[in-house]
Amino acid sequence: MKRLLRSVVYHVFALWLTSTMIPALSISGNLWGMLSAGFMLTIMMMLLKPLLSLIFLPINILTLGLLGWLVNVAVLYLWTVFVPNVSLVPWIFPGILAGGFVVPDVALPYTWTLIVVSLVITFIVTALWRLGDE
Protein backbone atom coordinates (compact mmCIF):
# COMPACT_ATOMS: atom_id res chain seq x y z
CA MET A 1 0.00 0.00 0.00
CA LYS A 2 2.88 2.33 0.81
CA ARG A 3 4.47 1.63 -2.58
CA LEU A 4 1.20 2.37 -4.39
CA LEU A 5 0.74 5.66 -2.57
CA ARG A 6 4.35 6.69 -3.20
CA SER A 7 4.00 5.80 -6.87
CA VAL A 8 0.80 7.86 -7.18
CA VAL A 9 2.51 10.87 -5.57
CA TYR A 10 5.53 10.52 -7.87
CA HIS A 11 3.35 10.22 -10.97
CA VAL A 12 1.20 13.21 -9.96
CA PHE A 13 4.31 15.32 -9.44
CA ALA A 14 5.79 14.14 -12.75
CA LEU A 15 2.54 14.92 -14.57
CA TRP A 16 2.35 18.38 -13.02
CA LEU A 17 5.98 19.17 -13.86
CA THR A 18 5.69 17.78 -17.39
CA SER A 19 2.49 19.69 -18.10
CA THR A 20 4.17 22.93 -17.01
CA MET A 21 7.26 22.26 -19.15
CA ILE A 22 5.43 20.90 -22.20
CA PRO A 23 2.12 22.67 -22.84
CA ALA A 24 1.04 19.94 -25.28
CA LEU A 25 0.03 17.83 -22.24
CA SER A 26 -3.01 19.23 -20.49
CA ILE A 27 -4.93 17.73 -17.60
CA SER A 28 -8.26 19.31 -16.74
CA GLY A 29 -9.90 19.34 -13.34
CA ASN A 30 -7.29 21.12 -11.20
CA LEU A 31 -6.03 19.07 -8.24
CA TRP A 32 -8.63 16.28 -8.42
CA GLY A 33 -8.08 15.88 -12.14
CA MET A 34 -4.34 15.66 -11.60
CA LEU A 35 -4.77 13.14 -8.77
CA SER A 36 -7.14 10.93 -10.77
CA ALA A 37 -4.86 11.10 -13.83
CA GLY A 38 -1.82 10.20 -11.70
CA PHE A 39 -3.71 7.35 -10.06
CA MET A 40 -4.83 5.97 -13.43
CA LEU A 41 -1.29 6.27 -14.85
CA THR A 42 0.10 4.43 -11.81
CA ILE A 43 -2.45 1.63 -12.14
CA MET A 44 -1.81 1.31 -15.88
CA MET A 45 1.96 1.24 -15.31
CA MET A 46 1.57 -1.47 -12.67
CA LEU A 47 -0.82 -3.62 -14.71
CA LEU A 48 -0.05 -2.99 -18.38
CA LYS A 49 3.71 -2.42 -18.29
CA PRO A 50 4.61 -6.03 -17.35
CA LEU A 51 2.19 -7.38 -19.99
CA LEU A 52 3.49 -5.08 -22.71
CA SER A 53 7.09 -5.80 -21.68
CA LEU A 54 6.38 -9.46 -22.30
CA ILE A 55 4.79 -8.72 -25.68
CA PHE A 56 7.68 -6.46 -26.77
CA LEU A 57 10.33 -8.86 -25.43
CA PRO A 58 11.47 -10.11 -28.87
CA ILE A 59 11.93 -6.53 -30.11
CA ASN A 60 13.74 -5.63 -26.90
CA ILE A 61 16.08 -8.61 -27.26
CA LEU A 62 16.82 -7.84 -30.92
CA THR A 63 17.67 -4.21 -30.14
CA LEU A 64 19.66 -5.16 -27.00
CA GLY A 65 17.28 -3.18 -24.78
CA LEU A 66 17.40 0.05 -26.75
CA LEU A 67 13.66 0.02 -27.43
CA GLY A 68 12.62 -0.63 -23.84
CA TRP A 69 11.14 2.88 -23.73
CA LEU A 70 8.59 1.75 -26.32
CA VAL A 71 6.58 0.09 -23.53
CA ASN A 72 6.28 3.39 -21.64
CA VAL A 73 5.19 5.15 -24.82
CA ALA A 74 2.51 2.50 -25.43
CA VAL A 75 1.21 2.78 -21.84
CA LEU A 76 1.15 6.58 -22.08
CA TYR A 77 -0.76 6.40 -25.36
CA LEU A 78 -3.35 4.06 -23.83
CA TRP A 79 -3.54 6.39 -20.82
CA THR A 80 -4.34 9.39 -23.05
CA VAL A 81 -7.01 7.34 -24.84
CA PHE A 82 -8.79 5.97 -21.75
CA VAL A 83 -8.53 8.87 -19.28
CA PRO A 84 -11.05 11.55 -20.35
CA ASN A 85 -9.53 14.58 -18.61
CA VAL A 86 -6.12 14.16 -20.30
CA SER A 87 -5.29 15.57 -23.71
CA LEU A 88 -2.09 15.47 -25.69
CA VAL A 89 -1.72 17.50 -28.87
CA PRO A 90 1.12 18.10 -31.33
CA TRP A 91 3.69 20.49 -29.91
CA ILE A 92 5.76 23.29 -31.36
CA PHE A 93 9.09 23.35 -29.54
CA PRO A 94 9.97 27.05 -29.18
CA GLY A 95 13.72 26.58 -29.60
CA ILE A 96 16.64 27.48 -27.35
CA LEU A 97 19.38 30.10 -27.51
CA ALA A 98 22.09 29.42 -24.94
CA GLY A 99 25.75 30.30 -24.92
CA GLY A 100 25.90 30.99 -28.64
CA PHE A 101 24.21 27.73 -29.56
CA VAL A 102 20.89 27.94 -31.34
CA VAL A 103 18.31 25.17 -31.44
CA PRO A 104 15.60 26.28 -33.88
CA ASP A 105 11.84 25.93 -33.54
CA VAL A 106 10.59 22.42 -34.27
CA ALA A 107 7.01 21.35 -34.91
CA LEU A 108 6.61 17.89 -33.41
CA PRO A 109 3.73 15.70 -34.62
CA TYR A 110 1.60 13.73 -32.17
CA THR A 111 3.82 10.63 -32.18
CA TRP A 112 7.00 12.54 -31.38
CA THR A 113 5.19 14.59 -28.74
CA LEU A 114 4.04 11.32 -27.16
CA ILE A 115 7.63 10.03 -27.14
CA VAL A 116 9.03 13.25 -25.63
CA VAL A 117 6.34 13.40 -22.92
CA SER A 118 6.87 9.72 -22.12
CA LEU A 119 10.62 10.18 -21.77
CA VAL A 120 10.21 13.25 -19.54
CA ILE A 121 7.68 11.53 -17.25
CA THR A 122 9.81 8.38 -17.07
CA PHE A 123 12.94 10.42 -16.26
CA ILE A 124 11.19 12.35 -13.47
CA VAL A 125 9.57 9.28 -11.89
CA THR A 126 12.83 7.29 -12.07
CA ALA A 127 14.76 10.16 -10.47
CA LEU A 128 12.17 10.43 -7.69
CA TRP A 129 12.32 6.68 -7.01
CA ARG A 130 16.11 6.81 -6.80
CA LEU A 131 16.05 9.83 -4.50
CA GLY A 132 13.38 8.21 -2.31
CA ASP A 133 15.31 4.97 -1.88
CA GLU A 134 18.32 6.67 -0.27
Q: What is the pLDDT of residues 80-103, one digit of tens each?
A: 999 999 999 999 988 888 888 898
- Residue 116: pLDDT above 80? yes
Alpha carbons 70 and 83: distance in angstroms, whole number: 20
State the pTM of this model. 0.89
Q: What is the mean pLDDT of the chain?
A: 91
The confidence score (pLDDT) of residue 20 equals 93
Mean pLDDT of 103-110: 92
The confidence score (pLDDT) of residue 25 equals 93
In sequence order, what DSSP letters do the residues of the chain get, joined into one string?
-HHHHHHHHHHHHHHHHHHHH-TTEEE-SHHHHHHHHHHHHHHHHHHHHHHHHHHTHHHHHHTTTTTTHHHHHHHHHHHHHH-TTEEE--EEE--EEETTEEE--EEE-HHHHHHHHHHHHHHHHHHHHHHHH-
* Total structural domains within the chain: 1
Residue ranges making up the domain that contains 15 = 2-133
- Residue 134: pLDDT above 70? no
- Residue 44: pLDDT above 80? yes
